[in-house]
């Protein structure tokens, strides 16, 4: 048993940049055939061009069920199945007090971050994983384990995603393992408002004294997709540089 993904097919949402791209890259480098998905075709093609391995791309909005179904079907047609699903796509259209959010932005956040993860998992399960088996990796956040700050609605979706991860693990075993990763503050475009300009100063209060990089999360995703984690399901792997134990706010 090792970390290689030889012979596996992976589908990664939100894969054109940041954490999703890093996960797609490390999966391909370790032998998986990888379908990259996000909303923009040109960004997907640019990302895939930088990856050393067998890849394909399919533009889809993570919050639209019909597009999720089309992407899963395209992955099965291209590569023969789906062994690994990474629900990484997320949105955060609102920063501010949770009490003040308007319902359209509230609904959008839950549509993509929580309902989207369920829909993509349903499609993978019904189309291929129920018979073939596989593993699902949900990208949550340490924000789903804490309170306060300016992204409380986003954090609510991640808390719910953590709960959904554990619940699906009880339903889909033994065919499918379902786990999550809870990143701390990672240097991505999406989290830029949280780490610029003071993020590095905040990180000095953490045990590991630095902000996260997308590769830090991708390494954990590789472990959870590999046979080395074959007896792990319903687990939330925190990758945060010590943020939680330091008691410092700043999930992303």
Q: How far apart are CA 48 and CA 7, in angstroms?
A: 19
Span 143-195, pLDDT tens digits: 999 999 899 999 999 999 999 999 999 999 999 999 999 999 998 877 777 76
Please state, in angstroms and rounded to a whole number, the distance separating the CA atoms of residues 84 and 75: 11
Rounded Cα distance, 194 and 196, in Å: 6
Of 27, 94, 106, 154, which residue is the catalytic one? 154
Distance CA 174, CA 178 (A): 10
Tokens 């932005």 -> residue: 105
Question: Is 27 marked active-site?
Answer: no
Q: In the chain, what are the domains? A: 9-236 (3.40.50.720)
Integer-rounded Cα radius of gyration of the chain:
17
Instruction: Give the pTM.
Output: 0.96
pLDDT per residue rounded down to tens, the chain (252 residues): 678 999 999 999 999 999 999 999 999 999 999 999 999 999 999 999 999 999 999 999 999 999 999 999 999 999 999 999 999 999 999 999 999 999 999 999 999 999 999 999 999 999 999 999 999 999 999 999 999 989 999 999 999 999 999 999 999 999 999 999 999 999 887 777 776 777 788 889 899 999 999 999 999 999 999 999 999 999 999 999 999 998 865 555
With residues binned 3-state (H G I as helix, E B as strand, rest as coil), the percentages for the chain, rounded to 5, are 50, 15, 35
């Amino acid at each position: 048993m090792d970390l290689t993904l030889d012979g596996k097919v992976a589908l990664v949402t939100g894969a054109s940049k940041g954490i999703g791209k890093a996960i797609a890259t490390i999966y391909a480098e370790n032998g998986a055939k990888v379908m990259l998905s996000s909303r923009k075709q040109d960004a997907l093609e640019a990302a895939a061009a930088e990856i050393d391995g067998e890849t394909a791309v399919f533009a889809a909005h993570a919050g639209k069920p019909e597009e999720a179904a089309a992407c899963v079907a395209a992955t099965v047609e291209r590569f023969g199945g789906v062994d690994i699903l990474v629900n990484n796509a997320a949105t955060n259209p609102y920063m501010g007090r949770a009490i003040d959010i308007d319902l359209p932005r509230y609904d959008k956040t839950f549509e993509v971050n929580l309902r989207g993860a369920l829909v993509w998992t349903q499609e993978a399960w019904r189309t291929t994983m129920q018979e073939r088996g596989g593993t699902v990796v949900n990208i949550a956040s340490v924000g789903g384990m804490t309170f306060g700050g300016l992204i409380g609605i986003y954090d609510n979706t991640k808390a719910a995603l953590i709960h959904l991860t554990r619940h699906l693990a009880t339903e889909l075993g033994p065919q499918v393992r379902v786990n999550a990763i809870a990143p701390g503050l990672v240097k991505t475009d999406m989290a830029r408002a949280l780490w610029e300009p003071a993020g590095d100063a905040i990180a000095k209060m953490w045990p590991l004294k630095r902000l996260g990089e997308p590769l830090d999360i991708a390494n954990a995703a590789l472990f959870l997709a590999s046979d080395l984690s074959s007896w792990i399901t319903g687990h939330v792997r925190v990758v945060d540089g010590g943020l939680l134990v330091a008691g410092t706010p700043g999930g992303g």
